[in-house]
Amino acid sequence: MAHTYLTFEFGNDEEKAQQARHKLESLKAAFKLDKKMLLKVDRKEKESSAAAETPKEKPAKAVESKSKDSKGAKGSKKADLEPAKLASSNTDVKLLLRLALPSHEKLTEQRLLKRISTEELLTSASLKTIRQADKGFAELDARFEELE
């Protein structure tokens, strides 16, 4: 079964990456591609000074302790939003999408790729399609496998 990777680079915009992830999950459900379409988020720390990373960790711990103390739904929503804002300033976010469609489903693959290329949210990110015969496929495959 041939694999095709699509990479979406969002820079440091965590919010757009999450919206795109939700959109891709809805396409996965629409095309009924449960195990044939896998999506992983690759976050790389920017090469900045260690002083910039230290303040990032302290507020995240403070948010976690606040969310444990509060019992309302508002506290958990706030805790979910704040780490995303903190992460967006120091990380580059990339979505890696692996399509593992058999050769007899070429029409499904073409329709899916066309649909992805027309989605406004997904076209705002820099999209790269890497097929099994392309250069850099092995590196991307290894990176995809090591992500959780």
136 three-state secondary structure: coil
pLDDT digits (tens, 9 = 90+) for 60-71: 444 444 444 444
Instruction: Give the pLDDT score at 24.
Output: 94
Q: Is 94 exposed, middle or buried (0-12, 13-18, 19+ CB in 10 A)?
A: buried
Whether the predicted model's global pTM rises above the 0.85 cut:
no
Across residues 89-111, what is the average pLDDT?
90
Domain spanning 3-45+91-146, CATH class: alpha beta
Alpha-helical regions (H) of the chain? 14-30, 50-69, 73-90, 106-118, 120-123, 137-146
Nearest alpha-carbon partner for 21 in 4, 36, 35, 42 = 42
> Interior CA angle at 82 toward 77 and 88, to 5°?
130
Instruction: Give the pLDDT score at 89.
Output: 63
pLDDT digits (tens, 9 = 90+) for 27-56: 999 989 999 999 999 998 876 544 444 444
Instruction: Give the pLDDT score at 6.
Output: 95
